[in-house]
Chain A
Amino acid sequence: MDINTLIEVALIVVKVVIVSMILFGLPIPLTWIERKIAGHIQLRLGPFRVGPHGILQPIADSIKLMFKEDIVPEKADKWLFKIAPLLAMVPAFAVYATIPFGDKMTIPFINKEVTLYISDMNVGILYVLAIGGISVYGIILGGWASNSKYAAMGGIRSAAQMISYEIALTFSCVAVVMISNSLSLLDIVNSQKGLWNIVYQPLGFIIFLIAGLAEINRIPFDLPEDEGTLAAGYHVEYSAMRFSFFMLTEYVAMVTASVLAVILFFGGWNAPMFMPEIPIFWFVAKVAFFVYFFMWIRFTLPRYRYDQLMTIGWKILLPLSLVNILITGLFLL
């Protein structure tokens, strides 16, 4: 093993550590932002007392979560109950192995060129969708292992919902793959140098957005954790850090959905028309917009009923996504 290989390995390790640190830290600002947006949309102020404009509130919350008692119900399936939050969390993080945040960047001072992605898998989008699909195991097992009716209901609902919406989500990605002729996320972004995919795929984008909302269990499709009917859904029995793992998963999933929407339909790190190219900045800005959009939707729309959810998934989104593939194929011919 020569020195160059060692440097490459070290670089990958450093990148993995940085990305996972960022993802672990991300829910801290995101919870604050979400509560602030909730407050301002409802003409309130949101958290205001801990630190200036309540900015230290999530830190206070995380300290509280760390010191809370970790309760495992007596009749729960102990091993599954303990492992379920990890099963939900690990895939949410593993998705980021293929996600490109930019093309290449030269680190100043040492003049080393680094790629802004951990790996460029040639089946990138497939990997993302497959790993994202595993995430549902954590939720189902968490709901089932709790040995509680509410949690079990939440888990079952989430299983049905995620599986039915995953099809529409995947099909909307297929149309993008057809246009860019590659499954690699890097190639998909590079194929959008001129016009973004949103121009060719408005219908695909809407399907992706709706199915994505359902995939990440956010309002208007947050039936797995429907407070009104299920108390808290699949994580009703969880407390302390195990609960925070589920919350972490949820926020990371929201960021993942935003990142995918940006990469597949909004040209990744490509700057909008006539704007200067700045590495990472445009990518982060677009992702931030989508994260805001998801929060914005959360405090605007009510929750769908369960039968409506299934109707939308199977009777509307699935045929529409198939039609979308058909139209895309006809245009490509």
Chain B
Amino acid sequence: MKVEQISIFLENRPGGLENVTKVLKDANINIRTLFLADTADFGILRLIVNDVDTAKKVLKENGFSVGRTTVVAVEVPDRPGGLHGILEVLSRSDITVEYMYAFVERSGENAVMIFRFDSTDAAIDVLLKNGITVLPGEKVYSL
């Protein structure tokens, strides 16, 4: 039920992001969604791609500092209070969200959010027990 995400350390400088997209383009990799966390000096680019293994390999070959992290894709009802309901469930169980971002594509009638939790397995457990849909990686990579 987990999704593999690639994290790349980037300095803040012109062309920094472009170097990443070029490498991915040349390897024919499709970016499904991305999220950039930035500070004054550096950023961390998080990517979900259609082919994690190849993406990681080519990025490494091109000298990037690449990490692989596990995140969770959750279906969020597309109506007022949809996200709130999910966060309520999580906070009741003492699960901390490290960060989250939205997925571009929808899953049926629902929006898709990507979550990074402090304890991934426990979070998935809580979500499933509360009847919330967690999307498997294979589905997310090809949404």
| B and A form one assembly | no
A interface residues (Cβ-Cβ under 8 A, vs B): none
B interface residues (Cβ-Cβ under 8 A, vs A): none
